[in-house]
Chain A
């Protein structure tokens, strides 16, 4: 049922803030549980590479960008709500609200 292709993920942060650390831990956990063996995570610290924020139109931090599979998806926040992360990654159908 879940798509079989590889997930290429980028996590944008700015320094080792508590939110950034939390987001990374949450992401690792979700990936291990739902995408074991078919994901890669690249962490981009905008403090070191400020110019990189422009390309993916990063405003909010932390931002998780699903580069692959297309289309590009963005999830902002510390990824504490697993359900919503799965919806954002298209691993769960979006609940249609009225």
Chain B
């Protein structure tokens, strides 16, 4: 019994070379066995299979045979081209063999007993020609449209999968999703080694692709649905459930880019690898503060990735230049990279995946997302919070410092969002404006900052030719939005005098007590 378990755990794996998929399958598909990949039209089945063949041939020295039953051979060529692989070259190097199987029911008459030995002979011949270790059958269910005797077909398919197993061929068998079953013809009955399901959902005109390992005999596997992305690099799957609070907490401090703000943050700025929420109403200078932060990081020679959900990079660079912060030069030096995307272009999962992908490629020290509130256009508050949790978890695991800006409206509607998101943040900075006669007075306040003694002052700031200038503690009336947010964020009463020198919080509670 024990030995059997040991054997089962030692099942060989054939890596697919698909980023993320090999992680959730703990190494790849079951080696020497068939895997069923089911999904609707356009769900990425063929691309998955072709990636598996191409990566096998290029990276693992395993030649592959692609037996395609699809009527539209052009589609396959297109899918493969989009991966950037030179299929013809692989074929010429005898690392890949493509055989188009064509079945036309209209030209076939059936009389008496037959079997599919012809298919076996063809596949066997193809495998022997190039010494294939991998096979893809795409989509074998097409046979059910070409041949009438489904009894024979079923028996022969069962024999085919056994035949593949006997030859220790690692196979990907694609199938169309059925109404009640994973496949139209119930192929999951015959392929019990591993079943992968692909899904392409469109919700409120926003599409998200998902992958799930339904079954994997003899191996652990991630059981969740994982979002995946199809782009010019092929398929990327994001395993997203590693929500472990295990990341290190560096002691290193980094500047916010503004000495006066650093001063408010215990004199030394943010912790490296921490998360900063910068919230305020429209036009309060959130993006400019972000630009200062990025500018300071680039001056230290660090790399910054700036996600824009509202403006184009060009627009942001121009606006910041006019505000006195030139971030354009860092783009030229390769230290700053922008990643601009309309929130409603994808679902949250896809955004998350794109962010992961961008962070992994650029490997930044600092990340800014501006403004995260725009993501609420494509998901509920809880969805956004869950997505940000994953982003933050990922960034913290890399000790990447992250700043998120949040646009608050002047009424109360976003405060719930703020409060929900703020618990993920190590530092929360509020900016606000207050009309003072004919002058708008800008104010900044550190509402919280974990692990450091921070200032409870509300300070005024103004835009100067060199960017933002923060003044000493203000005597001006506290801006109403700032007072309100502070109140909403800290509902618990604090005994008077326990919180330093009379920040807005203690004023607010003092007022409540009266």
- Residues of chain A at the chain B interface (Cβ within 8 Å): 12, 14, 19, 22-23, 26, 46-47, 50-51, 53-54, 57-63, 71-81, 84-85, 87-88
Contacts and interface: CB of A to CB of B under 8 A. Distances in A.
A87 B119 CA distance: 25
Contacts, number: 94
A80 B107 contact: no
B114 A50 contact: no
Contacts of B115: 19, 60-61
Contacts of B121: 14, 46-47, 50, 53
B112 A79 contact: yes
Interface string B94-133: 0000010111000111111111111101101100000000
B391 interface: no
A72 to B, nearest CB: 7
B91 to A, nearest CB: 15
Main secondary structure on B side of the interface with A: mixed
B117 to A, nearest CB: 4
A59 B111 contact: no
B111 A81 contact: yes
Interface of B: 99, 101-103, 107-119, 121-122, 124-125, 143, 147
Contacts of A22: 112
Given A50-B121, A57-B102, A73-B107, A80 B112 contact: yes
17 contacts: A19-B113, A19-B114, A46-B118, A50-B124, A57-B102, A57-B103, A59-B103, A59-B122, A59-B143, A62-B114, A75-B109, A76-B110, A76-B111, A76-B114, A78-B112, A79-B112, A87-B109
Contacts of B147: 60, 76
A62 B114 CA distance: 6
A74 B108 contact: yes
B118 A78 contact: no
Nearest to B148: A76
A77 B125 CA distance: 22
A54 B122 contact: yes
B110 A53 contact: no
Residue from B115, B118, B143 having most chain A Cβ neighbours under 10 A: B118
Given A61-B116, A73-B109, 15 more contacts: A19-B112, A19-B115, A22-B112, A50-B121, A50-B122, A50-B124, A59-B101, A59-B103, A60-B114, A61-B114, A62-B114, A77-B112, A78-B113, A85-B111, A88-B109
Contacts of A50: 121-122, 124-125
A73 B119 CA distance: 19
A58 B109 contact: no
Nearest to A77: B112
Contacts of B102: 57
B116 A60 contact: yes
A49 B101 CA distance: 18
Contact of A58 (B112, B113, B118): B118
Contacts of A87: 109
Nearest to B113: A78
B116 A75 contact: no
Contact of A59 (B107, B113, B119, B124): B119
A47 B122 CA distance: 10
A23 B111 CA distance: 10
Contacts of B109: 73-76, 84-85, 87-88
Contacts of A62: 114
B99 A75 contact: no
B111 A88 contact: yes
